[in-house]
Amino acid sequence: MSAPTLRGICAASVFFGLALALLPEGREKRVASLCVTAALVLMLLGLFRSFRWDGYAVSLAEMRSAANAICADAEEGRRALSRRVIEQECEEYIMDKAADLSLAVRSVKVSAGWSREGVWVPERVSITLAEDGPGRARIASLIEAELGISEQVQEWSIEGHT
């Protein structure tokens, strides 16, 4: 004899409900209701008895592993996004300061690294100028003072020159 399925139990519940609705009130309906309840309880017990608990444990472990992988991917994505935001903000800061000093900057590329404190910090900068100007030394010292990127790791180039 095969174990009942959840669909079979639902179908039996509907059938028993209709049968009970057709019975007149009284002793017969109470006895039938007791029998229906007992039959449904036995069917549910049969369903749980046939449940594969070892398969459930394996499925649960697989789902937990998949959830951990999703969380790790989300954390990595959050870190990458956070890094890019820091880099863009530093690039915008440099472009704004260069504009204030009337320095013609063509491009700025900031690279951030993961610090011991667990945050992204700017480490290197590469700046391409349209032409060299008097504001270059001033902005180089501002980058070091405000962003913490020493002048030794600042890469400067003039557009069209290598």
**Domain extent for 26:** 6-49
Query: What distance, in Å, lies between the first and last C-alpha atoms of the chain?
Result: 84
- Residue-wise pLDDT tens for the chain (162 aa)? 466 677 888 888 888 888 888 888 888 888 888 888 898 888 888 877 777 777 888 888 899 999 999 999 999 998 889 999 999 999 999 999 888 888 888 899 999 998 888 889 999 999 998 887 777 888 889 999 999 899 899 999 888 765
Burial of residue 105, with CB atoms counted within 10 A of its CB: 0-12 exposed, 13-18 middle, 19 or more buried? buried
**What integer pLDDT is reported at residue 30 of this predicted model?**
87
For residue 21, what are the CA distances in angstroms to 15, 32, 160, 161?
Answer: 10, 11, 91, 93
What CATH number is given to the structural domain containing 121? 3.30.300.30
**Same domain, yes or no: 26 and 95:** no
What total of structural domains would you count in the chain? 2
Helix (H, G, I), strand (E, B) or coil at 148: coil
| Cross-strand pairs, 8 | none
- Domain-located, residue 62: no
- Domain-located, residue 82: yes
- Domain-located, residue 73: no
**Same domain, yes or no: 96 and 149:** yes
**Same domain, yes or no: 83 and 127:** yes
- Domain-located, residue 34: yes
**What integer pLDDT is reported at residue 2 of this predicted model?**
60
Query: For residue 52, which phi and psi values (nearest 5 degrees)?
Result: -90, 95
Q: Which two tokens stand for residue 25?
A: 């009130």
Helices (H), the chain: 6-22, 27-49, 53-100, 135-142
Q: Which two tokens stand for residue 150?
A: 């020493």
Residue with tokens 């063509």: 106
- Domain-located, residue 65: no
- Domain-located, residue 104: yes
